[in-house]
Homo-oligomer: A and B are copies of this chain.
Amino acid sequence: MEADTTASAARQQSLREHNLALVARTVLRAGTPPSRAAVAAGTGLNRATVSRLVAELVAGGLVAEEAPVSAGAGRPATPLRPASGTVAGLGLEVNVDFVGARLVDLAGEVVAEQIETGDRRGADPAATLSRLAHLARAVIAQAPRVRIAGAGVALPGLVRHDHLLTAPNLGWQELRPRALVLEAAPELGHLPMVLGNEARFAALAELAAGPDESFLYVSGEVGIGAAIIKGGTFFTGLHGFSGELGHVSVEPSGPRCRCGARGCLETFAGTQAMGSAAGLPPGATPADLASRLAAGDVDARAATHRAAVALGIALASFVNLVDVGQIVLGNELGTLTEHLRPDVEAELAGRVLAARWAPPTVRAATAATHPALTGAARAALEPVIADPSAWIAQG
- Counting chain B CB atoms within 10 Å of each CB, which of A230, A242, A261, A353 scores highest? A353
A165 CB contact (under 8 Å) in B214, B243, B309, B357: B357
**Interface residue A191 (Cβ < 8 Å from any Cβ of B):** no
What distance in Å separates the Cβ of A125 from its nearest Cβ neighbour in chain B? Answer: 18
Indicate which residue in B160, B249, B351 contacts A247 across the interface (CB closer than 8 Å): B351
A238 and B325 form a contact (CB under 8 A): yes
Query: Which of B235, B260, B318, B353 is A166 in contact with, Cβ under 8 Å?
Result: B353
**A375, chain B: closest CB distance, angstroms:** 20
Determine if A236 is an interface residue (Cβ-Cβ < 8 Å): yes
A322 to chain B: which residues have CB within 8 Å?
A: 235, 237, 242, 321-322
Select from chain B the residue with minimum beta-carbon distance to A354: B241
B358 touches A321 (CB 8 A): no
Residue from B160, B240, B244 in contact with A353 in the complex, judged by beta carbons closer than 8 Å: B244
The A interface is mostly helix, strand or loop, or mixed, namely: loop
Q: Which of A230-275 contact B (CB under 8 A)?
A: 230, 235-245, 247-252, 259-261, 264
| A237–B353 CB distance below 8 A | no
Binary flags per residue of A314-336, CB closer than 8 Å to B gives 1, else 0:
10111011111100000000000
Whether A353 contacts B321 in the complex (CB less than 8 A), given A214-B238, A358-B241, comes out as no
Q: Note all chain B residues with C-beta closer than 8 A to A243.
A: 321, 323
Indicate if A192 sits at the interface (CB-CB under 8 A).
no
Report the bound CA distance from A264 to B352 in whole Å. 11
Contact of A237 with B323 in the complex, beta carbons under 8 Å: yes
A8 to B270, CA, bound (A): 66
Q: Are B160 and A241 in contact (CB under 8 A)?
A: no
A313 within 8 A of B: yes
Tell me if B353 and A158 are in contact (CB < 8 A): yes
Name the contact of A321 in the complex, choosing from B166, B236, B242 (C-beta under 8 A).
B242
Q: Are A321 and B248 in contact (CB under 8 A)?
A: yes
Chain B residues near A79: list those with CB within 8 A.
none
A321 and B343 CA atoms in complex are apart in Å by 22
The answer to whether the Cβ of A210 comes within 8 Å of any Cβ in the partner chain is no
Partner of A313, one of B237, B249, B318, B320: B249
- Chain B minimum-CB-distance residue to A325: B238
Cβ contact of A239, chosen from B166, B248, B251, B325, cutoff 8 A: B325
Q: Is the CB of A321 within 8 A of B244?
A: yes
Contact status of A252 and B354, CB under 8 A, knowing A238-B323, A242-B322, A324-B238:
no
A168 near B: Cβ within 8 Å?
yes
Q: When the two chains form their complex, are residues B354 and A158 in contact, meaning their CB atoms are under 8 A apart?
A: yes
Interface: A279 (CB within 8 A): no
- Distance of A322 Cα from B325 Cα, bound (Å): 16
Confirm or deny: A350 has a beta carbon within 8 angstroms of a beta carbon on chain B: yes
A90 and B317 CA atoms in complex are apart in Å by 34
A343-369 interface with B by 8 A CB criterion:
350-354, 356-358
Q: Using A238-B324, A241-B353, A244-B354 as known contacts, list a sample of 18 further A-B pairs with CB atoms less than 8 Å apart, ordered by residue number in A.
A: A160-B357, A165-B354, A166-B354, A166-B356, A214-B238, A235-B235, A237-B323, A237-B324, A239-B357, A241-B323, A242-B323, A244-B353, A247-B351, A247-B353, A249-B317, A317-B317, A318-B321, A321-B321
A sample of 17 cross-chain residue pairs with beta-carbon separation below 8 angstroms, ordered by A number, consists of A166-B354, A226-B321, A237-B323, A239-B354, A241-B357, A241-B358, A242-B321, A242-B323, A244-B320, A244-B321, A244-B354, A247-B351, A247-B353, A252-B309, A259-B353, A318-B321, A321-B321
